Structure formats: C-alpha cells, structure tokens
Amino acid sequence: MAHSAGTSVHLIADIADASGLDDLPLIEATLREAAKAARVRVLDVRLHHFGAGMGVTGVALLAESHISIHTWPEDGLAAVDLFVCGETADPEAGLETIRQRLRGTVRERHTIRRLRVSGATPFP
C-alpha cells in the first residue's frame, strides 16, 4: 500500500431513505466526490448495474485502500464502507458527501481502527 498500515480507519455505514440508487452515473460521481472530500486518491472506479431499476455496486480503488457502495433501490438503502490510511484522510467527510448526494439518512455506523500493529511504521 502507498501508506503505512498504522493509521488505517474503516468507516462502515448504512444509509436509509436514499434516492438515485439505480443511477449508475450518479453513483460513480458520488464515489469520486467522496474520495475528493476524504482527501484520498482514486486509482480506479469499477461499477456494476444489476439491471434497470435494480441496484448498483461501485468500488473506488484508492492509493489509501477503498470506498465501496452497494444499493437496494427497492428498499431505499445503500451500504457504504470507506477504508482509508494516512493521517490526512478524512473518511467522515467522504461519508457525509455520499449521504448528501443520495439525500438519505445514516442509520447505523461503525468506525473500526484497522491493523493496530505495535511494529507498524507511523505515518508518514
């Protein structure tokens, strides 16, 4: 990875009452804007649409790990995770961008400190 393991945060959230969940270009734009807000660098974005009116899977591969989104338009739900490394990354800002873009409510969230190694090199 481009950044030390010692500063890794995994932010996991479900977003309810969301809209635009079957809109592939919107989901791609949302991932890219979330990465910008989180101050991380996108290497690649991959998307898959399960069919007209159905959900979307989107993953942004980052220099600092990944952001993913999976959507269920029929339930108004999106499952999001932002896994970022590096002291300057701001996953909360990324999540807030996604919530705003999808006009939903964050219903459940978990913040997990990943890879808490005694031997890990501190960032930078």
Q: x/- site string to a second copy, residues 13 to 52, per CB under 8 A?
A: -x-x--------------------------xx-x-x-x--
Task: Give the C-alpha separation, 49 to 88, whole Å.
Answer: 32
Q: Are 76 and 15 in contact (CB under 8 A)?
A: no
Options 32-40, 88-96, 97-105, 110-118: segment touching a second copy (CB under 8 A): 110-118
The β-bridge partners of 42 are 62
For a second copy, the closer CB: 88 or 120: 120
Q: Is 12 in the site for a second copy (CB under 8 A)?
A: yes
Task: Please report, to the nearest 10 degrees, the dihedral formed by the alpha carbons of residues 113, 118, 123, 124 taken in order.
Answer: -160
Tokens 């989107």 belong to residue? 58
What are the angstrom distances between the C-alpha of 108 and each of 6, 12, 70?
26, 8, 15
Task: Answer yes or no: 65 catalytic.
Answer: yes
Where on the chain is the footprint of a second copy (CB under 8 A)?
Answer: 1-2, 4-5, 8, 10, 12, 14, 16, 43-44, 46, 48, 50, 54-55, 57, 59, 61-63, 65-66, 68, 70-72, 74-75, 77, 79, 81, 83, 108, 110, 112, 114-117, 119-121
